[in-house]
Amino acid sequence: MAVGVMALRPLLAAVLLLGPAVVARADEPTWTRRIIAPDTALKAAQAALAECRKRGWQAAVTVSDPSGLALVTLRDRFAGWHTLEAATGKARTAASWREATSTLAARLARPDAAERAIVNVPGVVMVGGGMPIEAAGQQVGAIGVSGAPGGDNDDICAKAGIEAVAADIAF
């Protein structure tokens, strides 16, 4: 039974008006997610690397999508080979657990931490320098920095990267 185009007009109008206000439900077959664009990821990585350089630290930076897959990785010319894997691992870990790696590491350092076993998951890096990148309460990516002297200093560079793109990703 064919439905005429004219009969669908009220339904189409309702969908167009209410569509943006509809919130995804668990039983929906698809969902939409905002993800940091590669150019914006590059800008964040460059800003983080610049902050580390300004302080005299040779580092590597990875910016990932919300699932932890790297979009951009930069390494300063004198940063050690290990900083590449560590930066990528920090971004992946921050993306996966949706929190800063320094916060996660502090929580898991407690002897009574229920989730201590995650430190043994391949690719997880539990040192400061990894942070989720959020916009309007939604995670759009993550950043990982490695090479500064200590995780707290890696955090300084990661924050600089996030701050450099905060206005770009606001929605």
Using one digit for the tens of pLDDT, what is the confidence trace for 105-134? 999 888 888 888 888 899 999 999 999 999
Range from 13-17, 67-71, 148-152, 162-166 carrying the lowest mean pLDDT: 13-17
The tally of CA atoms less than 13 A away on the side-chain side of residue 101 is: 37
Q: Higher pLDDT residue, 116 or 15?
A: 116
Q: What is the pTM of this model?
A: 0.82
Helix ranges (DSSP H) in 55-170: 82-97, 101-108, 151-169
pLDDT-derived band of residue 170, with 50, 70 and 90 as boundaries? Answer: confident
Q: Is the pLDDT of residue 87 over 90?
A: yes
Residues whose CB falls within 8 Å of the CB of residue 42, separated by 6 or more in sequence, listed in order: 63, 72
Specify the residue for token string 């990894």: 130
Range from 21-25, 64-68, 73-77, 88-92 carrying the lowest mean pLDDT: 21-25
Task: Map out the domains of the chain with their CATH numbers.
Answer: 38-169 (3.30.450.150)
Identify which of 60, 72, 66 has the alpha carbon closest to the alpha carbon of residue 131: 66
